[in-house]
A and B are shown apart, each in its own frame.
Chain A
């Protein structure tokens, strides 16, 4: 079973004591581990062994955790199913024959299968929340700046955060406590998480909680998913929460804006993979320009190439204003919409994914359809906000996740609310 969950199965022991002593953690394979290869699910980095630890890995070790392996993922985080991994697909332990979601599919599957107590993933447009929802576990996407990205191999660096998985909200929160907090090596981190006690917030107390439901995020969603979502909200209502509809008109443009920004950043972030210092080089002689091109042609998979090309296009002279700048404007608008909606509610709730997990192989040939499946998760990254996906129930035996979104650095509020469900 574990063969397809990890790209590299290797134990890294942490300190003897600490808050995570005795806990096992799966680490997504785009998070650098000193001396243990870190592939990003790509042929490009098949043999790349980092000479340093990501800040979150140092913190895991200091907290006494045992890392059990580097988890499978969509290549460079680009996917919603973990099927774009060069190392093959990962089955969904909660729904065999189905995808585990992506891009952090291996991390979510490791927790769902009991291969690890906890896991780390990264979330650029839903890559923690989607697999959490599909595998029936809990996943948190922290506020941008709460967790250090030092050592996280970048895909869309203005959007992404490393986030924890656990079987329960409390488990995930405990891991968040360890990894959150400012880091001198990441200038975008903030101090809000320095003295956190997220695990203590997992009380399940939702009495008086006001939940806003953005109507736009239910439109077009699968019926069974919507039904499961309302049942979960009903459960929260029974415990003293109230809910009402709110509107996020801008989210209609969020998927387009997200992909333009993420691909533009990716085209630049992935430029360093030229085979000179590390990674696949092909060993070609001759003109350096052609050598770089051949190394990249061989090293990258189709989805990665598609996104690099589209991102390069969006940033090019003559198109920059039409795409990149317009996407930035849309991003500002999405932020503003969330601010307004969160002034009318404590948290916002929606299905995490508008659909249940796809069957393995089902969606590979329709990238656009897959991009649209991110409709509920990407707006949160555009707005830099925190969100959590918690199991809401099942539809036809397939897991459904409920997403709660809170104000910036409102992780405690999300953890308190979500812990009423898991």
Chain B
């Protein structure tokens, strides 16, 4: 029985990833041009990134530093020295018709990243991660809209030379949801390291290889390693044009079903490259390549090898999400779920620690993880967008902690008004009269209510306990609803019986 005729129940999905991450550096990897996106095409360009005759690349060590940070974060081997190669192929977005990349001496080798999938910990092997330059971007205009069918194509070299890190995993994934968990974790790590901007368009691009093989071909031991022969034998598809972890899960789930259906119906799965069409939610076969590509790699002599042996020790990286999650549970007594929420981005975690340092950690957790993130999420706002107002949020937590305002009013009125109308917490409390009424004021109202309602007092004294409710209502009215009805009830009884 071959993979092609196996029953669906006997089949296992095997996925490996190539993730392209744009590194967040001020300037491009081989020249001084800005990496900031520009509205004007071909704005941030110079002889080097345009590939003009005679221009030479000079390595931006900031990009290498970012790569070393990633290497430390994934616990990869970093070589004594690292060098660059040329990958030769013709394409209209590639200014030199070769790409400067790394070949047999990548900056990172043999790393790992631990992920949690449905509560279970899994370690994903990262075979290598290397530095390279991003090509320019193409805009196909008119006609069929594709590179071979458009009327004409415009080329924008603003992106050309943006530093890229290509991260290549082992075929360690068994399901699209594992891929999603991995990508989410990777994105989190990269953001913690400060080397990646998820908001930037095209900053994350994923190619995924997916094969379906018979379960029997998975080695029987605990390592869960795939028999490489079986993997070679199974036809795999490479799915391109994935740009988010959610998109990856959808694209691969589609592809998994498509291949399993084909096998079930006895049809062969073609070895091919497929394009993920996000808007239609399907993968489409790209024009099959005429032949296996030969990139004719050879050393880039214009860039001397760079010694990086000491860099791993010299470059510091911050505490990473996984470690921080564990510490939050141990140090603040948080649940795993709360700790996960509070470490989802570095900014959230930093803010939580700031708040928890001054107030009760549980109160801080409720406020940051539930109230603040909940309201931000509802409004589709990132915490980074209200960075300048975090002190005000802290003040709101302080008002609650000091019992100056009820939790309900703080959450439902003050926080929302702060976010929607840009008001300050104290301003909302004062202008909307939300301050919890002081004890003196309540006592005063109790005395007044007794004086002004002798009939009700008489009824109470004659044994009509229901009359007390009328008096509580009067006090509440006088205090604008900000007194606690239970407290008022007790105060009234004490006053009437004293």
Residues from chain B with Cβ under 8 Å of A274 in the complex: 90, 92, 97
Whether B148 contacts A187 by the Cβ 8 Å rule is no
**Is A396's beta carbon under 8 Å from chain B?**
no
A264 within 8 A of B: yes
Q: Pick from A32, A268, A277: contact of B298, CB below 8 A.
A: A268
Inside 8 A of B299's CB, which chain A residues have their CB?
A: 158
Q: How far is the CA of A312 from the CA of B294 in the complex (A)?
A: 10
Contact with B296, one of A50, A186, A316 (Cβ below 8 angstroms): A316
Chain A, residue nearest B293 (CB):
A317
Report the Cα distance A38→B55, complex, angstroms. 14
- Which of B44-52, B168-176, B270-278 is the interface stretch? B44-52
A278 to B303, CA, bound (A): 25
Q: Please, how many angstroms separate the alpha-carbon atoms of A257 and B53 in the complex? A: 26
User: What CA separation (Å) do A264 and B50 show in the bound complex?
Assistant: 22
A75 within 8 A of B: no
Q: How far is the CB of A5 from chain B (nearest CB, A)?
A: 22
Say yes or no for B332: interface residue by CB 8 A criterion. Answer: no
Q: Is there a chain A Cβ closer than 8 Å to B98's Cβ? A: yes
Residue from the list A31, A272, A320 in contact with B95, Cβ < 8 A: A272
- Interface bits B123-157 vs A (CB < 8 Å: 1, else 0): 00000000000000000000000011000010100
Given that A271-B90, A289-B90, A292-B90 are known contacts, is A54 also in contact with B54, CB under 8 Å in the complex? yes
The reply to whether A50 and B52 contact each other, CB–CB distance below 8 Å, is: yes
Cβ-closest chain B residue relative to A31: B54
Complex Cα spacing A288 to B148, Å: 8
Interface of A is mostly: loop
Q: Is B324 an interface residue (CB 8 A)?
A: no
Q: Which residues of A contact B (CB under 8 A)?
A: 30-32, 38, 40, 45, 48, 50-52, 54, 149-154, 157-158, 184-188, 264-265, 267-268, 271-274, 276-278, 287-289, 292, 312, 315-317, 320, 324
Known: A149-B56, A187-B304, A278-B53. 8 other contacts (CB 8 A): A32-B53, A40-B53, A51-B47, A185-B58, A187-B57, A271-B96, A271-B97, A288-B153
9 tightest A-B CB contacts, nearest first: A158-B301, A271-B97, A315-B296, A153-B53, A151-B54, A32-B54, A272-B96, A317-B294, A153-B54
B413 within 8 A of A: no
Assembled-state Cα–Cα distance A317/B298 (Å): 11
Closest residue to B302 on the A side, CB-wise? A157
Q: How many A-B residue pairs have CB under 8 A?
A: 100
Chain B interface (Cβ < 8 Å from any Cβ of A): 47, 50-59, 86, 88, 90, 92, 95-98, 147-148, 153, 155, 294, 296, 298-299, 301-304
Shortest Cβ distance from residue B58 to the other chain A in the assembled complex, whole angstroms: 5
Q: List 27 A-B contacts (CB under 8 A).
A: A30-B54, A45-B53, A48-B53, A50-B47, A50-B53, A52-B52, A149-B56, A150-B56, A151-B54, A154-B53, A158-B301, A185-B58, A186-B58, A186-B302, A187-B58, A268-B86, A268-B296, A268-B298, A271-B90, A271-B96, A274-B97, A277-B51, A278-B53, A287-B148, A288-B153, A317-B296, A320-B298
Central interface residue in A188, A271, A312, by most chain B CB within 10 Å: A271
**Separation of A278 and B96 alpha carbons in the complex (Å):** 12
Which residues in B have their C-beta under 8 angstroms from that of A272?
A: 51, 53, 95-97
Q: Give bound CA distance, A45 to B52, whole Å.
A: 12
Q: Give chain B residues whose Cβ lies under 8 Å from the Cβ of A54.
A: 54
Are A312 and B296 interface neighbours, CB within 8 A?
yes
A265 to B92, CA, bound (A): 21
